Amino acid sequence: MKIAVIHGQNHKGCSYHVSKSLLEKLTTENNISEFFLPKDMPKFCTGCYTCLVKGEEYCPHYKYIKPITESILKSDLLVFTTPVYCLRASGAMKALLDHYFTWFVVHRPKEEMYFKKAIIISSGAGNGMRQAAKDIKTSLFYWGISNIKVYKLRSMAMSWPDISDKNKEKIENDMSKLANQINNAHKKERVSLRCKFIFYLMRMAQQKDKESCSKDNEYWQEKGWLDDKRPWRK
C-alpha cells in the first residue's frame, strides 16, 4: 500500500506521534512518502488564477507542489495531521490545500481521488479538534474522496512527553483499531451517494456551459464525463 503523509507542522508533536503509531500498525511493506509544512511547501496561494486559466503546472509555486501532488495521486491512503491553531487547522495546512482548489469537483477533479482512503488526525490540548479536521475534510470531500476517517486527540498537554501514560495507552488501542479497519477495507473504495450527487450537480453546470472554451469545460469533455463516462468507473 502506498501512503502519503502530510503534516501541518514542521515539529514532531502530538499529531505526528499519533500518525507514527498508526503507520507502524498498518500492513507491512508500505511505501510511505512524508511531507512537513511549511518546510516542504512554504508559499501561500496568491489567487492569481493561473492554475485555473492555464493549468496546474503554471502555478508559480509548482516546484513545491509537484512532488506532493505526485505522491497524493500515486497513494492508496492519504494521512493528514494538524495541531489545533486558534481552534482551526494550521495555517501551513490551509496554505497547501488552497493550491488544490482546481481539484474541486466544480473545476477539474482527479479520477484517482474516488478510489482513495483518507485519515485526518487533529490534536489539541483542549478544544478545536473537530473544526481543525473539518478544514481538511472539506477539501478531501470535494476532491471526491468518500472514505474519510477523523481521529481527534485531546492531549491535555503541550507536548508528546507530557501526555499521560493512560492517554498514550488509549491512543495505541485506538490506532490498532483504525489500522485494522484500513487493512481489512475493500481494495476498491465505494463512492458515496453524496459524492455522486455533487458530481452530477456539477455535471449539469458543465453541460450548460458546453459551448464555452473554459479550461474546466474542456477538461470535462476530454474525460467524457459529459457523456457516459464517470470518474469512479475504470
Average pLDDT of the residues of the chain? 93
Residue 229 lies in a domain: no
pLDDT tens digits along 39-91: 999 999 999 999 999 999 999 999 999 999 999 999 999 999 999 999 999 99
Distances (CA, A) of 142 to 10, 58, 202, 205: 26, 22, 11, 16
Residue 176 lies in a domain: yes
Residue 123 lies in a domain: yes
Residue 211 lies in a domain: no
CATH of the domain at 183: 3.40.50.360
Q: What are phi and psi of 175, to 5 degrees?
A: -70, -30
Q: Are 154 and 126 in contact (CB under 8 A)?
A: yes
Cell of 130: 473537530
Residue 216 lies in a domain: no
- Measured at the alpha carbon of residue 40, what is the angle toward residues 36 and 44, in degrees to the nearest 5? 110
pTM: 0.94
pLDDT above 70 for 119: yes
pLDDT tens digits along 193-233: 999 999 999 999 998 876 666 899 999 999 999 999 999 98
Total tally of structural domains belonging to the chain = 1
Residue 31 lies in a domain: yes
Question: Domain span at residue 17?
Answer: 2-191
Residue 14 lies in a domain: yes
Longest dimension (CA), the chain: 62
Q: Are 147 and 186 in contact (CB under 8 A)?
A: no
pLDDT tens digits along 133-174: 999 999 999 999 999 999 999 988 888 999 999 999 999 999
